[in-house]
Structure 1
Amino acid sequence: MPSQPLLSAQRVQSAGGRWLYAVDQTSHSPRATAPHSHARGQLFGTDAGVLTVQTAEGRSVVPAGQAIWIPPGVEHGAETHGPFAGWAAYLAPDACEDLPEVPCTLSMSALLRAAISRAATWADDVLDPAQQRIAAVISDELRALRPVPGALPMPTDARLRKIAHALIADPSDTRRLQDWADWAAIAPRTLTRRFAGETGYAFEAWRHRLRMMCALERLAAGAPVTTIALDLGYDNVSAFIARFRATFGITPGRYAAGRCTTLTLTSSPTDKPTPPAC
C-alpha cells in the first residue's frame, strides 16, 4: 500500500507560496511511493535506514549521509528499508533554474541538514527575517553539494532494459552473458558493447553493483549477512564480503553494526562509471 506523501499534494504541485517547504518524518514501518512527479524540485534523504529511488534514467540507493535530487516534473518512485528517519526539501520551479536538470545522488553537508530541519518547523507562508536568512543558507548549500557515484544507470535499448529489469526483479539470477543474450534475442557481442556504452558499466560490473545496492537495502532491514549473500546469488559468504568491502570500503558486518554512518560507492578500473550528468 502506498505511503502518505511527506508534504500535501497542494503544496507539492504548487509553484505558489514560499519557494521552500521542508519536512522531517520518523517511522518504524517501511515507506513506499508509486512512480509520480510534482511541480516542485525535491531534495530528500534519510538520517537512518536506506532509501531506494527509481527513475527512468536509473536506480539509486541512498544511504544515510547522502541525498538525492529530483528536478521538477521528473517521474520517480521511492522505497525505504529499515527504520525510517527521513527528510525532504521541496523547491518552487523558479528556485531550481540553476540546479541539475537530471536526478543526482549528492553528498550532504551537516549545515544543510540542520538548516532543513529548522525549516521543517516553519508554519507560515511568509518568512520572517531570521527565516529568510536560514532559507538563503539552504539555497547556497544546495548549490555547493557535489555528486557522488550512487546511481545504477539503466540501458536504453529495449532488449537490454528487459535484461536489467529481470535482474532487478531477481538479483540472484546467475545466468551467464550468453544465456541472457539468447533470452533477450541479442548477439552476445552486441550486448557487451551496447550495455557498456549505454550504462558506463560492463555487464558483470553492473550486475555486481546492483547486488551491492540490494545488499544495503537488506542490511538496513536487518537481514543476516549469510542470508543476504546466498539470496543474492553468491557461491559463499566470503565472496560476498570481499565484494562488499571492495565496493564500500567496509565489511557488511561492520556496516550493519553501525560502525559506518556514511557510505560512498567506489569504482575499480574495470567498472568505473561514466561521470554523472549533473
Structure 2
Amino acid sequence: MPILSDPSAGTDRFDPDEIHRPIVTVGIAIAEVRKIEIDFHRHRKGQFLLVQQGALSCEVEEGLWIVPPRSAIWIPGGALHAVKTTGALEGYNAFVDPDFCARLPKLCCAVSVSPLLRELLIRSARLPPLYEEGGAESRLVMVLLDEIASARAEDLHLPMPSDQRLRRIVELMIDCPADRGTMDVWAGRAGLSERSLARLIARETGMSFSRWRQQLGVMLAVKWLAGGASIKQVASDLGYESLPSFVTMFRKAIGVSPGRYMAERHTVR
C-alpha cells in the first residue's frame, strides 16, 4: 500500500471499505510540523491506528482519546470519529473487515503495542491492496488479527459529556488548561450551581469533577510530552505551582513518572 502523507485530503485519500480483504494496512508519514484535522466520519471497517512517532487525539462518540508513541487506538466499524494531530506523525492504519471483528473490542479503546504487533503492522503495510488469499500473505494478516485481539488496554480515555453547558466547560478547559479555578467558579461560568455541575458531570461521565479534570490534565500532558515539550513546561502549562506536584499527580495516574513514561515510549524495542 502507498504511504499516506496527508490523510485529510488530496490524492492520498482512499476508501478502505472498497478493498475486499480481511485486513488492509497502510502507513502514515507526515514529516511537516503542521496541524491536520480529519472531521467526523465513519466507515464500515474497524480501524486500528498505531502511533510510532508523534501523538494524536481522537474523539469517538462522546469520548476523547490521546494516542502517544508505541500506543494504538481501536475504533470499531461504524463508529463516528474525528482525528487531530499538530505535529510530525508516523504510524500505521489497519482496517479490519466486520466479518473478522468478532474477537475484537466492541467499544473504542487505547492499547499498548508489543514489538511483534508493531512488526506485523509494518510487514502487512508492504502487501499489495489485493494480496493473495489462502497463502502466506493471508496467514500473516491472520496473525496480525490475533495480536490486535490480545493487545493490552491503556487508560488514556476521557469521557466527553453531551450536555452543551458541560461541553462549554470542556472547551474552556482545553483552551486554558492552566486555569485552576474551583468547581464553584467553573459552575458559575456555565450558569450552574456547584451541586448541579457535580450531578451533571457524574451522570454524563461517571467521574467526579476533580477526577475528570485530573484525567484531562494527564491526557494533555501525554500529548505535549510526546510532541517534545519538557516536563517543566508541561507542568507550567497545566497550572502546577511546582514540578514535584505535577510529577506526583502523573505517577499516581499512570504508574510511572513522566520522564520514565516517555523514555519507554521512545526506546527502540
Question: Which TM class, normalised by the smaller chain length?
Answer: 0.7 to 0.9
> Match of 1:199, as an amino acid?
T
Distance 2:116 2:205 in 1: 33
Show the counterpart of 1:85.
90
Q: What does the per-residue CA deviation read over 1:221-245, in whole Å, with 9 as the maximum and x for residues that have no partner?
A: 2223222222211122222222122
Q: What does the per-residue CA deviation read over 1:204-237, in whole Å, with 9 as the maximum and x for residues that have no partner?
A: 1211211121112222222232222222111222
Show the counterpart of 1:119.
124
- When normalised by structure 2's length, the TM-score is 0.84
1:241 equivalent in alignment to 2:243: no
SS of the aligned residue for 2:55 comes to strand
1:29 to 28, 32, 39: 32
- When normalised by structure 1's length, the TM-score is 0.82
Distance 1:135 1:97 in 2: 15
Greater shift, 204-213 or 164-173, is seen at 164-173
Greater shift, 125-134 or 100-109, is seen at 100-109
Q: Which runs of 5+ in 1 are unaligned?
A: 263-278
Question: 1:116 touches 1:138 (CA, 8 Å); kept in 2?
Answer: yes
Show the counterpart of 1:266.
none
Question: 2:131 touches 2:138 (CA, 8 Å); kept in 1?
Answer: no
Show the counterpart of 2:194.
188
1:83 to partner: Cα distance: 4.3
Q: Which runs of 5+ in 2 are unaligned?
A: none
1:5 equivalent in alignment to 2:7: yes
For residues 28-107 of structure 1, the aligned pairs below 5 Å read 28-30=31-33, 32-35=36-39, 36-80=41-85, 83-107=88-112
SS of the aligned residue for 1:45 comes to strand
Distance 2:13 2:31 in 1: 23
Q: What does the per-residue CA deviation read over 1:62-103, in whole Å, with 9 as the maximum and x for residues that have no partner?
A: 222321111223222223465422111012233335533331
SS of the aligned residue for 1:261 comes to helix
Question: 2:71 touches 2:111 (CA, 8 Å); kept in 1?
Answer: yes
Question: 1:81 touches 1:218 (CA, 8 Å); kept in 2?
Answer: no
1:8 to partner: Cα distance: 5.2
Distance 1:107 1:118 in 2: 19
**Sequence identity percentage:** 35
How many equivalent pairs are there?
257
Distance 1:142 1:127 in 2: 21
SS of the aligned residue for 1:54 comes to strand
For residues 127-206 of structure 1, the aligned pairs below 5 Å read 127=132, 129-206=135-212
> Match of 1:53, as an amino acid?
C
1:261 to partner: Cα distance: 2.3
